[in-house]
Copies of this chain bind each other. A is one copy, B any other.
Amino acid sequence: MTTRVTIWNEYRQEHTDAPVRRIYPEGIHGAIADGLRDELGIVVRTATLDELEHGLTEEALASTDVLVWWGHVAHDEVSDTVVDRVQRRVLEGMGLVVLHSGHFSRIFRRLMGTSCDLTWREDGGRERLWVVDPSHAIAQGLGAGFVLPEEEMYGEHFDIPAPDGLVFLSWFQGGEVFRSGCWFVRGRGRIFYFRPGHETHPTYFDANVRRVIANAMRWAAAPGGEMPTYGHRPEPLEQF
């Protein structure tokens, strides 16, 4: 079975910000797509903010099994229509993987119902990610965890609902911790939030980060039950 992935990227800082362009000359979406290139059974498309309907038309989403979301400086430019559409598709069963600064995206805040706020510092210190659920599919191939030599810090409190499950916790050199790999179910859809990926660090070229994202694609796309039907049921199942 093929998993059809759409990688969505805001794709602005790659144009405006030389250090970002230097690290991600093909865009952050390009680096993420490159990381999935050799994954069997995963077919990748990309979409960006400045495309028509942000590249997320009804047709595009209808043929997407898992949507990856990276955004940072232009969350507010994502239209109501597209936020509504993505939310509906997630509730119908499309997977959603939200990366790093996507914690503040309209779609993530919409699906969480909270502020999704946190503390942060661009100090380029080390981040250590630890596996706290060794049974989880997203932890496959990552041993006890892994290190990112330089990253932005995100610290608790992270204002999300208690995740349905926690896969990774992060340790930061500057003294903070963070719930870095969190999964949620909303409707029929599976959501994974994964913390690393600041635009000034080459995080999406890291082999372990790529492993996490590939694992998340398969986990989020795995088949579940059928889409429920809702509403009026005029006839009781049992007579009384």
Contact (Cβ within 8 A) A237 B176: yes
Q: Is the CB of A233 within 8 A of B119?
A: yes
Is A185 in contact with chain B by the CB < 8 A criterion? yes
Q: Which of A140-175 contact B (CB under 8 A)?
A: 140-145, 153, 155-159, 161-162, 164-166, 169-175
Residues of B within 8 A of A164 (CB): 161-162, 165
Residues from chain B with Cβ under 8 Å of A123 in the complex:
236
How far, in angstroms, from A133 to B238 measured CA to CA in the complex? 23
Residues A159 and B91 in contact, CB atoms below 8 Å apart: yes
Chain B residue with Cβ nearest A139: B225
Q: Are B121 and A236 in contact (CB under 8 A)?
A: yes
Q: Which of B111, B130, B187 contacts A155 (CB 8 A)?
A: B130
Tell me the smallest distance from the CB of A125 to a CB of chain B, in Å: 6
Q: Copy number in this complex?
A: 4
Q: Which residues of B contact A155 (CB under 8 A)?
A: 130, 233
Chain B neighbourhood of A222, CB < 8 A: 137
By a CB distance below 8 angstroms, the chain B residues around A136 are: 224-225
Pairs A-B, 3 closest by C-beta atoms: A139-B225, A174-B236, A175-B237
> Can you identify 18 A-B contacts, CB atoms within 8 angstroms?
A91-B159, A119-B230, A119-B233, A123-B236, A131-B228, A133-B225, A136-B225, A140-B223, A140-B224, A144-B157, A144-B228, A145-B156, A153-B233, A162-B165, A171-B171, A173-B238, A175-B236, A177-B177
